[in-house]
Chain A
Amino acid sequence: METKTGTWIEKKGLAQMLKGGVIMDVVNAEQAKIAEDAGACAVMALERVPADIRADGGVARMSDPDMILKIIDAVSIPVMAKCRIGHFVEAQILEAIGVDYIDESEVLTPADEEHHILKHNFKVPFVCGCRNIGEALRRIGEGAAMIRTKGEAGTGDVVEAVRHARTVIGAIRQLQTMGDEELMTFAKNNGAPYELVKEVKQTGRMPVVNFAAGGVATPADAALMMQLGVDGVFVGSGIFKSGDPARRAAAIVKAVTHYQDATILAEVSKNLGEAMVGRNVSQMPEGEKLAGRGW
């Protein structure tokens, strides 16, 4: 019998297995274990969470492969890792060490200010950030098998995550009401591949799984994103920058499963200790925002 690996169905399929789950940023094997024990469906291995990348400044790059491998050894759930936008060699390295998903991420300092990685060239699947449907469909056109709305990472302020999720989901609804003859102009105005625009109109959803990211800090934030219509959430700084990471992590996992049940949401929101110290995005200088990275 013939077997095939690295196919589009395989790449998209792993993201489908993550649906209804929480993917947590972790910086070492110990945090990865805490995340797994709390019920994370995957972890994102990186040297510094976005809140620290913001605080430290400088160039943020792919993490040390040795540190990622230690996390891979520590947990049984999928391990993701980030490479810089356009840095296809960092991606080759991450693929070589066996990460399950690569995040071509605006949280790291971009390596190319015009082009993203041609992700179809890889066997490992990629997730990419987006702020709107055009950006999402361009990334999928390049081979991203999963999308996350960007939000504003490392702030603990959910406002941008809401804005981006509403923008993407609103555009999908708008497409449902459009005539076929309007789709080429929609594709042109949004900088989106025409074939994918047609597919979204036909199916009424994104061609790949869509998570929310960037600013989720509480169980209520996570449930808010789920009710807005995303498939799951990434939590970056929100867990390990809080007072009681294990408890908060487990509460956010429960909130994503029971996102429609306010009684359970109230229960899991109790006594979580300090949330991460937030940064108000509306008072942040434009130059400090990460979401604008990506072309």
Chain B
Amino acid sequence: MKIGVLALQGDFAEHISMLKRIGVETAEVRLPKHLDGLDGLIIPGGESTTIGKLAVAYDLIEPLKQFGKSHAIWGTCAGAIFLSKDARSNQPLLGLMDIKVQRNAFGRQVDSFETDLEIDELMKATGTEHPYHAIFIRAPLIESVHGSAKILSALDDGRIVAAQEGHLLATSFHPELTSDPRFHEYFISLAS
């Protein structure tokens, strides 16, 4: 099992250290050739406009779309925006997941927050019962899911913060900033 982390910009090193902790081989992806031999890919948090522009500049858009047809991809925060079909803004997107997202949906940095989420799918898959502590930073919201995409987690008020479409995963929050490996383990199960 070898998982790549898109390393154009953002907190890719945090994802890599979490993957290493759970015994997964990793690789940094900056160019199309770096996708060879990977079983899955994580698109980290960062600035989605920066990541999108660099992906265009180094001809990564098409290879990433192709990769996502047959391999697991997980986007956290900026990565979730990049995976979506619609981000209501004029920026490069992969359009792999049939979800509509809204950037900076919770306000500015002073409004960024931490909270506990009950995520049934995750707790079932990892055989655990305690809630998942989620960290949101200038986070996007998943406004709606369409087609075969389904809701994985929502806040108490119903706003969607995690979605899954087959082997594709999107979270508004940052599991890589916690010490809880369950989301990474769950993603590995999708990549297997």
Q: How far is the CA of A257 from the CA of B6 in the complex (A)?
A: 11
Interface positions, chain B 92-137, Cβ under 8 Å from A, are 103-104, 107-117, 135, 137
CB pair B11 A21 closer than 8 Å: no
| Stretch from B50-58, B63-71, B142-150 at the A interface | B50-58
- In the bound complex, residues from chain A placing their C-beta under 8 Å from that of B36 are none
Question: B108: nearest residue on chain A (CB-CB)?
Answer: A98
Knowing A17-B78, A21-B47, the reply to whether A9 touches B89 (Cβ < 8 A) is no
Chain B's closest residue to A76 (CB) is B103
B116 touches A19 (CB 8 A): no
Nearest chain A CB to B25 CB, angstrom units: 20
B7 within 8 A of A: yes
A29-57 contacts to B (CB < 8 Å): 36-42
Residue A270 lies at the interface, judged by CB distance under 8 Å to chain B? no
Cβ contacts under 8 Å, B13 to chain A: 19
Q: Does B40 contact A (CB under 8 A)?
A: no
Cα A72 to Cα B103 in complex, Å, equals: 14
Q: How many A-B residue pairs have CB under 8 A?
A: 123
Interface members, chain A 209-260 (any B CB < 8 Å): 250, 253-254, 256-258
A46 to B87, CA, bound (A): 30
Count of chain A residues near B, Cβ 8 A:
43
Is B116 within 8 A of A1, CB to CB?
yes
A90 within 8 A of B: no
- Count of chain B residues with a beta carbon within 8 Å of a chain A beta carbon: 40
A2 within 8 Å of B by Cβ? Answer: yes
B1-29: which have CB < 8 Å to A? 7-14
Given contacts A10-B135, A17-B77, A19-B11, contact A77 B112 (CB under 8 A): no
Q: Does A143 contact B (CB under 8 A)?
A: no
For A261, list chain B residues within 8 Å (CB).
Answer: 30
Contacting pair A16 B177 (CB below 8 A): yes
The residue from B49, B78, B110, B156 contacting A39, defined by CB atoms under 8 A apart: B49
Q: In the bound complex, do residue A40 and residue B50 qualify as a contact, i.e. CB atoms below 8 Å apart?
A: yes
Query: Quick check: A14 and B10 within 8 Å, CB to CB?
Result: no
B112 near A20 with CB under 8 A, answer no
Q: Given the complex, which residues of A lie within 8 Å of B113, measured CB to CB?
A: 3-5, 10
Known: A14-B138, A76-B104. A42 touches B110 (CB 8 A): no
A80 and chain B: residue at smallest CB distance: B109
The answer to whether A101 has its CB under 8 Å from any CB of chain B is: yes
Instruction: Across the interface, name the chain A residue whose C-beta is closest to B118.
Output: A1
Q: Which chain A residues lie closer than 8 Å to B57 at the CB level? A: 250, 254
CB-based nearest B residue for A268: B57
- Which of A16, A99, A256, A257 is in CB contact (< 8 Å) with B14? A16
Contact of B111 among A5, A16, A39, A258 (CB under 8 A): A5
Q: How far is the CA of A99 from the CA of B111 in the complex (A)?
A: 11
- In the complex, are the beta carbons of A1 and B115 less than 8 A apart? yes
**Nearest neighbor of A98 in chain B, beta-carbon distance:** B108
- Picked from A17, A37, A99, A100, the residue with its CB within 8 Å of the CB of B45 is A17
Contacts of A258 in B (CB 8 A): 30
**Residues on the A chain within 8 Å of B138, using CB:** 14, 17, 78, 100
Task: Return A16 CB to nearest CB of chain B, in Å.
Answer: 4
Taking beta carbons and an 8 Å cutoff, which residues of B are in contact with A? 7-14, 30, 45-47, 49-50, 53-54, 57, 77-78, 89, 103-104, 107-117, 135, 137-138, 155-156, 174, 177
Not counting A1-B115, A41-B50, a sample of 9 additional A-B residue pairs whose C-beta atoms are within 8 angstroms of each other reads A16-B177, A17-B45, A17-B138, A18-B47, A39-B9, A41-B47, A99-B108, A99-B109, A257-B30
What are 17 A-B pairs with beta-carbon distances under 8 A? A1-B115, A1-B117, A1-B155, A1-B156, A9-B177, A13-B135, A16-B14, A17-B10, A17-B45, A17-B46, A17-B78, A17-B137, A19-B9, A19-B13, A39-B54, A98-B108, A250-B57
Closest CB pairs A-B (n = 5):
A100-B109, A3-B115, A41-B47, A39-B53, A20-B9
